Amino acid sequence: MNAIKSNLQSCGREFTQVELSLIQEIVKDFSNLTRTELAGTVCELLDWKRPSGKLKKHECRGFLENLEADGLISLPDKKNSIKGKNTKPAKPLNGEQPWSKLSGSVDDFAPVDVELVKSADQKELFQGLIQEYHYLGYSMPYGARLQYLAYINKPYRQVVGCIQFSSPAWRMKVRDRWIGWNDATRSQNLQHVVNNSRFLVLPKIRNLSSMLLSLVLKRLRLDWQLQYGLEPWLTETLVDQQRYHGGCYRAANWLDLGETSGRGRMDQSHQRHGSQVKTVLIYPLVKNAATRLRQGRVEQ
């Protein structure tokens, strides 16, 4: 018991049993990730950061290896880790913008489809487009993630958008209230939630955004399960109210749960309450998603 207690403390932070359970679930469910990716995922979910806002990846990796030494988790082999894999900056694109003159209705450019990013060329294109045209830019998401490129096929096949799903937020008041789970249940079932962390649509084509959301959600469950062996039951996203209304999400039948506090994850002193308020939207991927997340089982 003393060994376990000592392993729940690292660099001045003490981790709860609920947080330990979450770490164990992450390591178990995403065993194909490297040690560095797992450390980054744990840091993001548990908000373990430096005062500058950077993740404490080095400390977290050491913490995970201490947990492994006491038999609390089993990490992937060190040889699978690739130095610098998650810190490579995306290349900006400085070429032409073939989508800039496109206009009209989405039906004029059908068929429209989304394709899972797999090849090196697709990854470079995805990262470059997000870096240059998304207001948040590109940063490599840690842990579980899937990225898609969106295409139109008239007048010829070309990329018109990027969509990314990644690990969910550890706490989100309105989401957690909608689900109705407690800390222990959230720790066990959080990995059944995925976050739509980037959405970029390049041309101004009517109804294209909502169609892309509908198309990608039809395949997300299977793609995620094939990649990670875990079925997602709910997807979430945050919409910056100062920039967007989120109409395309609502048109694609996402549910508006309300607003974030606006504090930001690093504002522990409540000095920024009400700033950077974002709308929380969710889309259940299965029937009775809240019940499944709350009870931790699939209903037949």
Which pLDDT score is estimated for 176? 96
Which pLDDT score is estimated for 1? 39
Q: Is 255 helix (H, G, I), strand (E, B) or coil?
A: strand
Which pLDDT score is estimated for 187? 87
Label residue 125 exposed, middle or buried (CB < 10 Å: 0-12, 13-18, 19+): middle
Label residue 218 exposed, middle or buried (CB < 10 Å: 0-12, 13-18, 19+): exposed
Strands (E), the chain: 9-10, 13-14, 103-105, 112-116, 145-152, 158-166, 193-201, 204-206, 234-240, 255-259, 278-284
Amino acid letter, 6: S
Label residue 193 exposed, middle or buried (CB < 10 Å: 0-12, 13-18, 19+): buried
DSSP at 113: E
> Residue 32 phi/psi, 5° resolution?
-85, -5
- Residue found under tokens 């989405």: 106
Residues 212 and 112: beta-carbon distance below 8 Å: yes
Q: Is 271 helix (H, G, I), strand (E, B) or coil?
A: coil
- Residue found under tokens 């109210």: 241
- Within 8 A by CB and 6+ apart from 293, the residues are 179, 181, 185, 189, 192, 193, 233, 234
What is the C-alpha end-to-end distance of the chain, expressed in Å? 40
> pTM of this prediction?
0.73
Stretches where the chain sits below pLDDT 70 are: 1-7, 79-96, 262-275, 297-300
* pLDDT tens, residue by residue, 222-234: 999 999 888 999 9
DSSP at 164: E
Which pLDDT score is estimated for 286? 95
Residues 50 and 94: beta-carbon distance below 8 Å: no
CATH assignment, 103-295:
3.40.630.30
The answer to whether the bond into 51 is cis (omega within 30° of 0) is no
| Helix 57-69 and helix 17-29, axial crossing angle in degrees, nearest 10 | 90
Q: Where are the domains of the chain?
A: 2-80, 103-295
Per-residue CA distances from 269 to 50, 264, 273 (Å): 16, 11, 9
Which pLDDT score is estimated for 272? 39
Structure tokens that stand for 260 in this block: 């974030």
* pLDDT tens, residue by residue, 175-195: 999 999 998 899 889 989 999
